[in-house]
């Protein structure tokens, strides 16, 4: 089980990224009246399906960044008070089973020592499905943000073990410098001794979680996305062409996007990803998709796609859509 409030927070964050909340609730199997329900907990499976659907719509890079924001600003501060009186990070992680058992019934997290190395582990029954790896990434990013909150530092993962055998998603989210081991019996993050023995840094100010969430897209950029979507399949839009379609001057168009902390390039990348996923699901080849989107060759398309998602189109189609 997982807290209903946490699921609502995820949806609140992702709703600012051109996500149709009603549609994604339906596809994930979550209650359509989720925001009105008084139930404290939800089953894990539809929530894991929700994570998978969100990731498939925004790509690895945006998904990871928004997930970190949800953890850092809204979710982790709700449990930090339970770590307030621990002496060291080791004590905090050793106590985490008790905390997470209450906060997320059915979760199984432990601090284990293997070959003189300490690993913070999350145990879950393995499933050979595309959505399982996203559950692992969810746990890994949560652990990293929790360690940063406990140590008041920019603590980064250096080694991680995953149960899944497809490492592309996790590697893209964490970076190539992280040592990644696949096919293990649990998901585990290595914690060095210096960090484990450091003093816990939980203060009263950490328990306040009323900071505003980042506004990713507001009404103007949402309308831009919707208006330009039909034209992306026909040719590679320039900012001048897009402005003309919207009956704006290029200068006004770019200024209004800048006011919402975005740009034409970001909007265009979101459009490219949305259309790519649609055409992949329809069974079109990557060569056809790159041509349809106006790229001179598949190499240019592949580089642009990887810049947005963190994965090549081929890896994305396999890892996220479950297609060969």
Q: Quick one: average pLDDT of 247-270?
A: 85
CA pair distance 155, 152, nearest whole angstrom: 8
Q: What is the pLDDT of residue 195?
A: 93
For residue 317, CA distances in Å to 18, 282, 294 come to 21, 12, 20
Q: Beta strand pairing status for 41-42 and 159-161?
A: unpaired
Q: pLDDT over 90 for what percent of the chain?
A: 15
Domain that holds residue 233: 219-319
Res. 320 pLDDT band, cuts 50 70 90 = low
Q: What is the pLDDT of residue 67?
A: 87
144 and 275 share one domain: no
Q: CATH number of the domain that 189 lies in?
A: 3.90.1520.10
| Radius of gyration for the alpha carbons in the chain, expressed in angstroms and rounded | 21
20 and 125 share one domain: yes
CA pair distance 218, 295, nearest whole angstrom: 29
DSSP state for residue 178 in the 8-state scheme: S
Outline where 168-215 has alpha helix (H).
168-174, 193-196
Asked, for residue 214, whether it belongs to a domain, the answer is no
CA pair distance 109, 96, nearest whole angstrom: 7
For residue 252, CA distances in Å to 227, 229, 238, 244, 267 come to 16, 20, 15, 11, 15
- Top pLDDT among 203 and 225 is at 225
Indicate the residue among 150, 179, 207 that finishes a domain.
207
* Nearest CA among 146, 169, 165, 168 for reference residue 157: 146
Q: What is the pLDDT of residue 213?
A: 39
Which of 16-25, 131-140, 218-227, 313-322 has the largest mean confidence? 131-140
Q: Quick one: average pLDDT of 55-62?
A: 79
pTM of the predicted protein model: 0.66
Q: Quick one: average pLDDT of 280-306?
A: 86
Contacts of 9 (CB under 8 A, 6+ apart): 70, 74, 75
Q: Are 134 and 119 in contact (CB under 8 A)?
A: no
Residue 182: CA atoms inside 13 Å, Cβ hemisphere, count? Answer: 10
CA pair distance 37, 309, nearest whole angstrom: 34
Contacts of 276 (CB under 8 A, 6+ apart): 289, 293, 305, 313
Return the residue matching tokens 């393995």: 126
For residue 34, CA distances in Å to 4, 16, 30, 94 come to 8, 18, 7, 33
154 and 246 share one domain: no
Indicate the residue among 180, 207, 234 that finishes a domain.
207
Contacts of 163 (CB under 8 A, 6+ apart): 124, 126, 132, 136, 183, 184, 185, 186, 187
Q: Are 126 and 186 in contact (CB under 8 A)?
A: no
| DSSP helix/strand/coil, 134 | helix
Instruction: Write the DSSP assignment of 63-112 as a string of letters.
Output: HHHHHHHHIIIIIGGGTGGGGTT-SBHHHHHHHHHHHHHHHSTT--EEEE
Res. 117 pLDDT band, cuts 50 70 90 = very high
Q: pLDDT over 70 for what percent of the chain?
A: 87
Res. 207 pLDDT band, cuts 50 70 90 = low
Number of domains in the chain: 2
Asked, for residue 212, whether it belongs to a domain, the answer is no
Residues 9-56 have pLDDT tens digits of: 888 877 766 677 788 888 888 877 787 776 667 777 788 788 888 887
Residues 71-105 have pLDDT tens digits of: 887 788 877 777 777 889 998 888 887 767 655 55
22 and 105 share one domain: yes
Indicate the residue among 144, 172, 207 that finishes a domain.
207
8 and 123 share one domain: yes
Q: Which two tokens stand for residue 105?
A: 């019934």
Round the average pLDDT of the chain to a whole number and report it: 80
97 and 150 share one domain: yes
Q: Which two tokens stand for residue 2?
A: 């997982």
């Amino acid at each position: 089980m997982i807290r209903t409030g946490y699921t609502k927070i995820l949806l609140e964050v992702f709703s600012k990224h051109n996500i149709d909340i009603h549609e994604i609730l339906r596809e994930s199997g979550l209650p359509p009246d989720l925001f009105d329900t008084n139930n404290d907990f939800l089953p894990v499976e539809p929530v894991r399906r929700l994570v998978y659907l969100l990731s498939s719509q925004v790509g690895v890079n945006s998904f990871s960044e928004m997930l970190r924001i949800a953890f850092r600003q809204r979710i982790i501060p709700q449990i930090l008070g339970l770590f307030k009186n621990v002496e060291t990070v080791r004590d905090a992680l050793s106590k985490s089973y008790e905390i997470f058992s209450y906060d997320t019934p059915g979760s199984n997290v432990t601090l284990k020592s293997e070959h003189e190395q300490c690993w913070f582990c999350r145990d879950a029954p393995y499933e050979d499905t595309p959505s399982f790896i996203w559950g692992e990434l969810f746990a890994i990013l949560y652990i990293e943000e929790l360690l940063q909150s406990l140590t008041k530092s920019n603590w980064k993962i250096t080694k991680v073990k995953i149960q899944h055998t497809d490492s592309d998603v996790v590697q893209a989210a964490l970076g190539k410098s992280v040592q990644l081991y696949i096919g293990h019996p649990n998901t585990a993050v290595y914690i060095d001794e210096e960090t484990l023995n450091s003093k816990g840094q939980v203060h009263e100010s950490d328990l306040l979680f009323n900071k505003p969430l980042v506004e990713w897209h507001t009404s103007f950029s949402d309308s831009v996305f919707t208006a330009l979507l039909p034209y992306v399949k026909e040719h590679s839009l320039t900012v001048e062409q897009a402005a003309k379609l919207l009956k704006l001057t290029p200068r006004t168009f770019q200024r209004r996007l800048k006011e919402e902390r975005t740009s034409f390039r970001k909007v265009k990348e979101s459009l490219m990803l949305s259309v790519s996923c649609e055409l992949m699901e329809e069974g079109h080849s990557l060569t056809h998709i790159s041509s349809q989107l106006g790229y001179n060759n598949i190499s240019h398309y592949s580089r642009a796609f990887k810049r947005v998602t963190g994965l090549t189109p081929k890896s994305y189609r396999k890892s996220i859509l479950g297609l060969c």
